[in-house]
Amino acid sequence: MMRVKELLKSKGRDVYSITPDATVYDALKLMAEKEIGAVVGLDGEKMVGILSERDYARKVILSGKSSEETLVREIMTSDVMYVGPGEKVKHCLSIMTKKHFRHLPVLEEDKVIGVLSIGDVKSKL
């Protein structure tokens, strides 16, 4: 049974982050440049949230807000589920499916060491 740490070795440990005080527009630019669907909100090295393309669609566009005026902290998910590197990949899929989200941060000693996407997880099962 594959563990998260093995998946991170094969996919890489790149973590793209943004500060909560950045604009949603800046977060979207970063996601587009890196071809990713979510960024981790960091205050220093501490994870304080996660912002996904879905958050943007639901909380900015559908609310008639402007991405250039809305701050990441206003729409990011603050109560973030995460896993550790020793977690089984199959369990990650179960969490993501039950909770209906597509990105799952990986923390080790309170530091974000990776982010798994639903595609990453499904490709290894």
Model pLDDT for residues 50-108, shown as the tens digit of each residue: 999 999 999 999 999 999 999 999 999 999 999 999 999 999 999 999 999 999 999 99
What pLDDT sits at residue 1?
Answer: 86
* Structure-token pair, residue 12: 């890489």
What pLDDT sits at residue 116?
Answer: 96
115 closest CA partner among 39, 22, 19, 1: 39
Domain ranges (residues) in the chain: 4-123
Asked if the model's pLDDT at residue 124 lies above 90, the reply is no
71 closest CA partner among 30, 16, 29, 20: 20
Specify the CATH class of 4-123 in words: alpha beta
Helix (H, G, I), strand (E, B) or coil at 64: coil
The string of pLDDT tens digits covering residues 1-55 is 899 999 999 988 889 999 999 999 999 999 999 999 999 999 999 999 999 999 9
Going by pLDDT thresholds of 50, 70 and 90, the confidence category of residue 118 is: very high
**In terms of DSSP H, where are the helices of 35-115?**
53-56, 72-75, 89-99
pTM: 0.92
Kind and range of the H or E element at 114?
Answer: strand 111-117
